[in-house]
Chain A
Amino acid sequence: MLNPTRFDNALNTLGAWLLALLWLLPLLYAVWSAIHPSEFSARFDLLAPLTTDNFSKAWSAAPFPRYFLNTSALVLAILIGQIVLCTLAAYAFARFEFPGKDIAFALVLVQLMVMPDVVLVENYRTLHRLGLVDTLSAMALPYMASAFGIFLLRQTFKTVPRELEEAARIEGCGSFGVLWRVYVPLARPVYLAYALVSVSHHWNNFLWPLVMSNSVETRPLTVGLSVFASTDQGIDWGIINAATLISSAPLLLAFLLFQRQFVQSFLRAGIR
């Protein structure tokens, strides 16, 4: 009764495949219209001629190289900031006793709910007052102290045996030496997982950069893509889809190459 018959098995496999096909359909559709001339955008003819025109047109129609540079800088700045700040804070929470520790930790966790983009109007006011509108710092700063990163690293640091720390102290390490020589190396897989999630989250982030950037010099890919798609007069789907694929390509390729790490990281990270 409990073990499926061969027929059931085949039916389930078929269902899984059909759903997978349905799930890939939007992406396949985008690829189709990007690699064919526009008259075939919505006509499915297997003999339709292939072309790379759409990609070169999209690439030259908007400052995509600049957008790539902006996004890369933004993602990298956020990641470095997060790793440094979260490591220090997590170390404090995991291994130090200080007055107000529990309250401080609860206050950190508040950010899991009140993310910077939920209170975007006030954050805009703050950064406007600091004269930072339309800068990379403004787009990166609110995300650097990540509650999730602090939480994740604190949990990891807590599993490190105290004996290792004591051994390092006997060798003459101070607090920073212990952090650098013992805790950080042992948490390497967690850093990798966190980095993958952080990079993919901020590569794709849109609302906050949209609010904070208003020039080509700061605009990241997602905002650039939305500007490109909305100002395009002729609505040439081939070109828009080519631009869409260009912007998603780095993450998509990284994902195809490192599938297992991606899935593991997202799993480990849960909340981004």
Chain B
Amino acid sequence: MNTRRQSVTGWLLLLPAAVLLAAFTHYPALATFWHSFFTTPRANRSARFVGLENYELLLEDPVFWTALTNNAWYALGTILPSMALAIVMALWVNRQMVGRGWVRLAYFTPTVLPMIAVANIWLFFYTPDYGLLDQVRSLWGGAPHNWLGSQETALGAVVAVAMWKEAGFFMIFYLAALQQQSPELREAAALEGCNRWQFFWRVTFPLLMPTTLFVLVNAVINAFRLIDHIFILTRGGPDNASSLLLFYIYEVGFKFWDVSYAAALTVVLLLVLAVVALFQFGVLERRTHYQ
């Protein structure tokens, strides 16, 4: 094929996907920036350029800061424990043992359940007095507690659900990586008189590093994107104690219909994701799974 025909065919093949990508990824990302400098158009007056006013509003908005801080805690609280659990799970189910298939199945099951369904089940778990958590606690004489309804525990309760949902998903990446590690490493380490603790920290864990970084990137993105359970469990309450950034964007955009302010908030979210992207392409280069 000559070069001209190659170019034409290439672009024609790409065209349908390119149109949709431009319409639903690139355009909205740019439009978000653009609209964040305007007021929200209302029935009687159209949008007006206001410069940085939406961003000034944002800096003074306590709910925004609460949502952002919550999101940071949510990310930290979900990512580290679920990754640690994922490694433990993977190490466990990588050994020979009775019922290994069942155990793997149990760990992975939350991944295929809809987050909405999961949230419904956990809502029941957390019900004060009547729910399983309080029933178990009452065996030790614990007083009933409104897990989702009190400022101190709402965010933690939401974190627990996300952790439970994600650990099994991350496990499969660790399991795949463990299965590729050569058994000879173990023999060599045994000759060196290495104990299991040393073996894990000096051999296994460093070799899992590419997996860890890959999982980390995914976990961070999910921590800012996966908010379905908030709708069922707390609706961001009480008093925004469990509101997350994207949830707040949803509220501002679709409950208060303040699209310009929602645009300014979305810019913050896009900045967070851009930092993740820079980390991924800068630090990780191309050492990740998708090679």
Contacts and interface: CB of A to CB of B under 8 A. Distances in A.
A252 B190 contact: no
A17 B99 contact: yes
Given A23-B106, A120-B253, A244-B117, A151 B290 contact: yes
A65 interface: no
B173 A206 contact: no
A80 interface: no
A112 B10 CA distance: 22
A219 B231 CA distance: 16
B266 A16 contact: no
B64 interface: no
B289 A270 contact: yes
Interface string B268-291: 011001101100000000000111
Contacts, number: 285
Contact of A267 (B106, B172, B193): B172
Interface string B185-204: 01001100111100100000
Given A120-B253, A270-B214, A262 B112 contact: yes
Interface extent on B, as a size class? 35 or more
A155 B291 CA distance: 8
Contact of A118 (B98, B246, B253): B246
> Which DSSP category, helix, strand, loop or mixed, fits chain B's interface?
helix
B14 A92 contact: yes
Contacts of A207: 227-228, 246, 250
Interface string B1-29: 10100111111011011111101111111
Contacts of B289: 270
A122 interface: yes
Contacts of B31: 122, 125
A50 interface: no
A139 B21 CA distance: 15
B24 A24 contact: no
Interface residues of A, number: 98
A74 interface: no
B114 A126 contact: no
Contact of B121 (A119, A244, A266): A244
Given A26-B121, A92-B14, A151-B290, A251 B112 contact: yes
A89 B17 contact: yes
B218 interface: yes
Contacts of A136: none
Decide if the interface of chain A is mainly helix, strand, loop or mixed: helix
Contacts of A89: 13-14, 16-18
Contacts of B114: 203-204, 206, 221-222, 225, 247-248, 251
A17 B97 CA distance: 10
B225 interface: yes
Contacts of B29: 110, 114, 119, 122
B121 A141 contact: no
Given A113-B273, A116-B25, A118-B273, A141 B111 contact: no
A214 to B, nearest CB: 11
- The 9 A-B pairs of least Cβ separation, nearest first, read A96-B10, A122-B28, A98-B10, A20-B106, A92-B13, A145-B20, A119-B28, A204-B114, A142-B24
Given A26-B118, A108-B21, A255-B109, 18 more contacts: A1-B190, A1-B193, A1-B195, A12-B97, A23-B164, A26-B122, A29-B124, A86-B17, A92-B10, A112-B277, A113-B277, A120-B250, A126-B28, A204-B112, A225-B114, A247-B116, A266-B169, A270-B173
15 contacts: A12-B92, A42-B130, A89-B18, A96-B7, A101-B10, A113-B221, A113-B276, A121-B262, A122-B263, A151-B290, A225-B116, A237-B124, A244-B117, A251-B112, A252-B112
Interface of A: 1-4, 9, 12-13, 15-17, 19-21, 23-27, 29-30, 33, 41-42, 84-86, 88-89, 91-93, 96-99, 101, 104, 107-108, 110-126, 141-142, 144-145, 147, 150-152, 155, 175, 200, 203-204, 206-207, 210-211, 221-222, 225-226, 229-230, 237, 240-241, 243-245, 247-248, 251-252, 255-256, 259, 262-263, 266-267, 270-271
Interface of B: 1, 3, 6-11, 13-14, 16-21, 23-29, 31-32, 35, 88-89, 92-93, 95, 97-99, 101-118, 120-125, 130-132, 135, 164, 168-169, 172-173, 176, 186, 189-190, 193-196, 199, 214, 218, 221, 224-225, 227-228, 231-232, 246, 249-250, 253-254, 259, 262-263, 266, 269-270, 273-274, 276-277, 289-291
